[in-house]
A = this chain, B = another copy of it.
Amino acid sequence: MQVYNAPLRDMRFVLNELHNDDGFGDLPGMEEFDTDLTDAVLEEAARFCRDILLPLNRSGDEEGCTHENGVVRTPKGFKDAYDQFTAAGWAALASDPEYGGQGLPEALNKLVEEMICSANLSFSLYPGLTHGGTTAIKGHGSDELKAKWLPKMISGEWSGTMCLTEPHCGTDLGMLRTKAEPRDDGSFKVTGNKIFISAGDHDLAENIVHLVLARLPDAPEGVKGISLFLVPKYMPKDDFSVGPANGVTCTAIEHKMGLKGSATCQMSFDESTGWLVGEPNKGMAAMFTMMNTERVSVGIQGLGVGEAAYQSAVWYAKDRVQGRALSGAKYPEQAADPIIVHPDVRRMLLTMRAYNEGCRALSAWVSRALDAQKHSPDPEVRQRAEEFTALMTPVVKALFTDLATESANLAVQVYGGHGYIRESGVEQYVRDARICQIYEGTNGIQALDLVGRKMGANFGRNLRSFFHPVSNFIEESKGEGPMQPMIEALEKAFGALQLSTATIAQKGMADPEEAGAAATDYLRLLGLVAMGYCFAKATKIAGLQIFFGSANGEEGDKAFYETKIKTATFFFERILPQATASFLAIRSGKKSMMAFTEDEF
């Protein structure tokens, strides 16, 4: 059974308690969002996700999208849910108030995103892609484009897409062939074929605004000759109501492993009218604006699915009675004990739980940096926040989604044979989560981005924006009695990370393949240290709260803090040891992989 209630207490913890000393300020620039307001938003979002989106998750998977006579339809109930979603203003949550958005801090918005993804990942794609599109237009479009297009997109009346991939090129966009020819009126004729376009066509919004990568006639070869165009499905009339069709058609939808409620489209642009977004031949920069936003969001998608998988598995582990506890019957009055009594079942549940809480804590930190980057009055803070988000974007994307697939698979394992049956709902999490490791840049590409670009960039300042807080925390926490084992474990893993960083920097300078060979393990190692840091901080805060009494006196708070410390302990004892395996793998270098000739595979 798919079970989901937003983990509101933990969300408030990572939002209000965990990162207050991170130097990015107090919800920077967002002072009007006090605790009452953020609590209200979280609670309302939780209700919407549970009552409206969750019930459509499995039916959406069973029914899927259809493509008949050129029309793409989403599963039953999606249109109605989308209307309620936009009417309630959820689509406009994080967007600029100048264009009708509600200007919510990312620190809050990402928590709402997580809930939406937990409840219905397929649904989340429709508003999610729109948000990516508005970010690109806002960042790179002319004032005219912004004034015209953003309000309709931000309200959700019109939705958006990112049209990058073509059949022969995904990762290597330099090979793309879609063409854009200038017209006299300043617009362009866009012609070409795109594949894997999420939300490329559907029946939720009255118009769809495609952001399309294409080449101008005189463009240089490769990635330096790519420009970004805004191409609507229907041309707008003068009053920006929906006008005639614009040569944009969905030629097919993909049959996929999962995410079946989200229409993944093959799109054809046939002399479609479009407008340049940003400078000619600078499309990759604009695309990366969109992409970086999306990459963090894809990480959140993973976390969302991981949380739903965890909750569904906990429900089953308490419900399913089978066998007896190894230490003797726990419920002698029943025919058998619930399977949650077993250490190995708990190992699986707590692995998911630790992954989710670790990712949520890390994502809250990154979200605060996203806000600081935009809103902090202090240029030094803005720069540090930018460096930190640059470093963490690939980590959030790849780490969270790798762990989501692990979590979803663990949930199926908790269900046993019943988990393999579609009606249980948990195998859907495995199929849905799987795409998150791939789209918006495969996780291998994220790892290369981390070691190849982000690690060494800005004279190492990106890395220091993360290393400094960690080493400071370790130093100041030494000698604090009950936390010593945690601090020692964190220090050891952090030492392995520092050593690996030095090794990769040194070897990778001379031979980029050495960096490539270390990339995936390095990303995991860094992610483990980051989660470990968050858990250690959380333990410290929780310990103080238990000792001195809860700051806000909320009922049940002591129980929350005690459980937080237990989860952190599990993380340090059972998850962090993975760091050693990554460290040893990194140290071994590229040799064992590159020794193979192609024929030997």
Please report A residues at the B interface, Cβ cutoff 8 Å: 165, 169-172, 175, 195-196, 254-258, 314, 317-318, 322-323, 325-327, 335-336, 338, 340, 342-350, 353, 405, 409, 412-413, 416-417, 419-423, 427, 430-431, 434-435, 437-439, 442-444, 447-448, 511-513, 515-517, 519-520, 559, 563, 566, 569-570, 573-574, 577-578, 580-581, 583-585, 588, 590-596, 598, 600-601
CB distance from A339 to the nearest CB of B (A): 8
Q: Which residue of B lies closest to A337 (CB)?
A: B172
Q: Find out whether the CB atom of A422 lies under 8 angstroms from the CB atom of B516.
A: no
Q: Which of B175, B258, B598 contacts A340 (CB under 8 A)?
A: B598
A585 → chain B closest CB, angstroms: 5
In the complex, are the beta carbons of B577 and A592 less than 8 A apart? no
Contact in complex: B601, A520 (CB < 8 Å): no
Q: Apart from A344-B444, A412-B434, A413-B437, what are 4 other A-B pairs with CB-CB below 8 Å?
A: A257-B422, A347-B520, A420-B438, A569-B595
Cα distance, A325 to B515, chains bound together (Å): 12
The 22 sampled A-B contact pairs (Cβ below 8 Å) are A171-B323, A175-B322, A257-B420, A258-B420, A318-B601, A326-B516, A343-B593, A344-B444, A345-B444, A347-B520, A350-B596, A353-B601, A413-B438, A413-B444, A416-B438, A416-B442, A427-B434, A566-B592, A566-B600, A577-B580, A577-B584, A580-B581
Shortest C-beta distance, A90 to chain B (Å), equals 27
Cα–Cα, bound, A590→B570 (Å): 10
With a cutoff of 8 Å between Cβ atoms, the chain B residues found around residue A516 in the complex are 326, 342-344
A422: which of B256, B343, B598 is its contact (CB, 8 Å)? Answer: B256
The count of identical subunits is 2
Enumerate chain B residues within 8 angstroms of A569, measured Cβ to Cβ: 592, 595
A472 CA to B337 CA, complexed, in Å: 44
Establish whether residues B417 and A438, one from each chain, have CB atoms under 8 Å apart when the complex forms: yes
A79 to chain B, nearest CB (A): 25
Docked CA distance A83–B222 (Å): 55
Cβ–Cβ contact B570 & A593, under 8 A: yes
| Nearest chain B CB to A145 CB, angstrom units | 29
With a cutoff of 8 Å between Cβ atoms, the chain B residues found around residue A563 in the complex are: 596, 600
| A412 nearest CB neighbor, chain B only | B434
Nearest CB of B to A263, in Å = 14
Chain B residues lying within 8 Å of A443, measured Cβ to Cβ, are 413
Contact A347 B435 (CB under 8 A): no
Chain B residue numbers with a CB within 8 Å of A347 are 517, 520, 593
A344 touches B519 (CB 8 A): yes
Contact between chains at A448 and B412 (CB < 8 Å): no
**Residues of B with C-beta under 8 A to A336:** 172, 175
Residues B417 and A314 in contact, CB atoms below 8 Å apart:
no
- A215 to nearest B CB, angstroms? 15
Closest 3 CB pairs of A and B: A577-B584, A573-B588, A343-B517
**Complex: chain B residue closest to A169, CB-CB:** B322
Q: Assuming A346-B596, A581-B581, is B512 touching A601 (CB within 8 A)?
A: no
Instruction: Compute how far the CA of A336 lies from the CA of B176 in the bound complex, rounded to whole angstroms.
Output: 12
When C-beta atoms are compared, the residue in chain B nearest to A171 turns out to be B322
- Shortest beta-carbon distance from A308 to chain B in Å: 15
- How far does the Cβ of A504 sit from chain B's closest Cβ, in whole Å? 12
Among B196, B419, B444, point to the contact of A417 (Cβ < 8 A): B196
Give, as a whole number of angstroms, the nearest-CB distance from A582 to chain B.
8
Assembly CA distance A371 to B254 (angstroms): 48
Given contacts A519-B344, A601-B317, contact A405 B409 (CB under 8 A): yes
Report the bound CA distance from A417 to B420 in whole Å: 24
Q: Report the Cα distance A318→B423, complex, angstroms.
A: 39
- By a CB distance below 8 angstroms, the chain B residues around A254 are 421
B423 near A438 with CB under 8 A, answer no
Contact call A343/B594, Cβ cutoff below 8 A: yes
The reply to whether A442 and B413 contact each other, CB–CB distance below 8 Å, is yes
